[in-house]
Amino acid sequence: MKKIRYLKEHGTISLVAPSFGCSSDPYLTRLDEAIKNLRKDGFNISQGENIYLANHKVRSNTARKCAKEFMDAYFSSSDAIISVGGGEIMCEILPFIDFEKIKKAPFKFFMGFSDNTNLTYTLTTISEIPTIYGPCAPAYCIKPYMYDKKDALDLLMGKTKKTVGYPYWQRYSIKTDEPLSRPNYTEKKVLRLYTNKPIEIEGRLLGGCMDCLSILCGTKFDKTKEYIEKYKEDGFIWFLEACDLNPVSIQRVLFQLKESGWFKYCKGFIIGRPLCYRRRYFGITHYRAIKEALHSLNVPLIMDADLGHFSPSMPIITGTKAIVKADSNLSIEYIEY
């Protein structure tokens, strides 16, 4: 893996829209305010040509133009790249991403969430560069930055080597008519460990949104088996969360990934709260679905972590070695960072 190069004080951040563009509220207002805040923080902001567009179904622009915007940002003088949103069909830009060219180039962080798994995961497993599975740019619309927003910026800048879970979370999403409303963190976090003792594991972090990982699995962009063989001595800690999947769908995806060999050398799992949190499908909860899918691996299982589409969501550096500890809370300490 390449040596990490951090976002500098007064450095330049490129904003791109490889998936959803911020063409309407609440996203438009939030992005505008986030840009103002980041500039007040001293960063230079380079705005990609697609970040305010919705020219192609549920993506900002055509696949080719989205890929070009990302490639231009990667080979620009900027210090880091942050996506402005998640979405649905970012996978279609992958044929136009030159992963080999990126692999040979100087490193820079890319950070994004949800549909951005299509890049955070492939850049790590194909181009062998660390990425951050973390908040998209509009999340920086409210100051002071709290929880995951602060942690993600600290990781980008190399100001911390350890992140810790948060005491409360928010069950509901942002109101369209109140785009700059403060998060309402009222749900108390309860971490579920399927073991009779505190967990401590060391390994290389891999993962993202299961909705996207299942689409990548088996395509020409799936270099997972080659990647895990290369770093098998480290072992792997998989971090996973789900957006549109119901409990049965989660169980099917985990079966698919397991039987495809992705979880070979797995040392444990960090599973975030899925959007189907505590819903039943044919009487099955996500707890039952995940336990049934993964029990044969006989590795530590951490569930309902602060990871996923409920805010706040812990930012995680993909492709980097870390020590993960869990008892009443979760901590991730990077040891190759």
Asked, for residue 142, whether it belongs to a domain, the answer is yes
Indicate the residue among 101, 133, 161 that finishes a domain: 161
Residue 43's nearest CA partner among 81, 9, 76, 75 is 9
My answer on whether 323 and 280 are in the same domain is: yes
- In whole angstroms, what is the distance from residue 213 CA to residue 251 CA? 13
For residues 202 and 258, give the distance between their C-alpha atoms in angstroms, rounded to a whole number: 20
328 and 181 within one domain: yes
At 101, is the secondary structure helix, strand, or coil?
A: helix
4-8, 251-255, 328-332: segment of lowest average pLDDT = 4-8
Q: Check pLDDT > 80 for residue 18.
A: yes
Kindly report, residue by residue over 286-322, the tens digit of the pLDDT.
Answer: 999 999 999 999 999 999 999 999 999 999 999 999 9
Residue 54 clears pLDDT 70, i.e. is over it: yes
Whole-number pLDDT of residue 173: 72
Could you tell me if 47 and 15 are in contact, meaning their C-beta atoms sit under 8 angstroms apart? yes
For the chain, give the mean pLDDT.
Answer: 95
**Is residue 4 domain-resident?**
no
Nearest to 312 by CA among 159, 161, 151, 85: 151
Mean predicted confidence (pLDDT) in 70-92: 97
Residue 284 lies in a domain: yes
168's CB contacts (< 8 A; 6+ apart) are 185, 186, 187, 188, 189
Element (H, E) at 252: helix 247-259
pLDDT for 337 equals 63
Are 131 and 270 contained in the same domain? no
- Separation CA 66–CA 73 (nearest Å): 11
SS3 content of the chain, % helix, strand, coil (to 5): 30, 25, 45
* pLDDT tens profile 162-191: 999 999 999 877 666 789 988 889 999 999
What's the total number of domains in the chain?
2
Query: Is residue 22 in some structural domain?
Result: yes
One domain for residues 156 and 273: no
1 lies in some domain: no
Residue 200 lies in a domain: yes
Residue 73: which pLDDT band, with cuts at 50, 70 and 90?
very high
The domain that holds 241 is classified in CATH as 3.50.30.60
Residues 206, 135 share a domain: no
**Residues of the domain holding 104:** 12-161
Domain end: 161, 191, 219, which one?
161
Tell me: do 150 and 183 sit in the same domain: no
Alpha-carbon dihedral 43, 28, 87, 104, rounded to 10 degrees: -20
Residue 194: the pLDDT is 85
Distance CA 22, CA 37 (A): 17
Same domain, 186 and 272: yes
Identify the CATH number of the domain in which residue 62 sits: 3.40.50.10740
Q: Do 216 and 114 share a structural domain?
A: no
**Among 55-64, 95-104, 153-162, which is the least confidently predicted range?**
55-64
Whether residue 321 is found in the same domain as residue 184: yes
pLDDT at residue 196 tops 80? no
Strand pairing report for 301-305 and 266-272? parallel
Are 272 and 308 within 8 A, CB to CB? yes
pLDDT tens-digit series, residues 221-258:
999 999 999 999 999 999 999 999 999 999 999 999 99
If pLDDT is split at 50, 70 and 90, which confidence band does 281 have?
confident
Residues 229, 190: one domain?
yes
> Interior CA angle at 274 toward 212 and 337, to 5°?
65
33: nearest Cα among 141, 184, 106, 154: 141
Q: Does residue 296 lie within any of the structural domains? A: yes
Do 43 and 117 have their domain in common? yes
Q: 66 versus 279: which is more confidently predicted?
A: 66
| 207 and 266 inside one domain | yes
The amino acid sitting at 83 is S
C-alpha span between 213 and 207 (Å, rounded): 8
> Could you say which of 131, 161, 191 is where a domain stops?
161
Kindly tell me if the per-residue pLDDT of 3 is higher than 80: no
- pLDDT tier at 215, thresholds 50, 70, 90: very high
With a cut of 90, say whether residue 200 has pLDDT above it: yes
Bridge partners for 80 per DSSP: 13, 109
pLDDT at 112: 98
pLDDT score recorded for residue 178: 86
Q: What is the pLDDT of residue 184?
A: 87
Residue 31 lies in a domain: yes
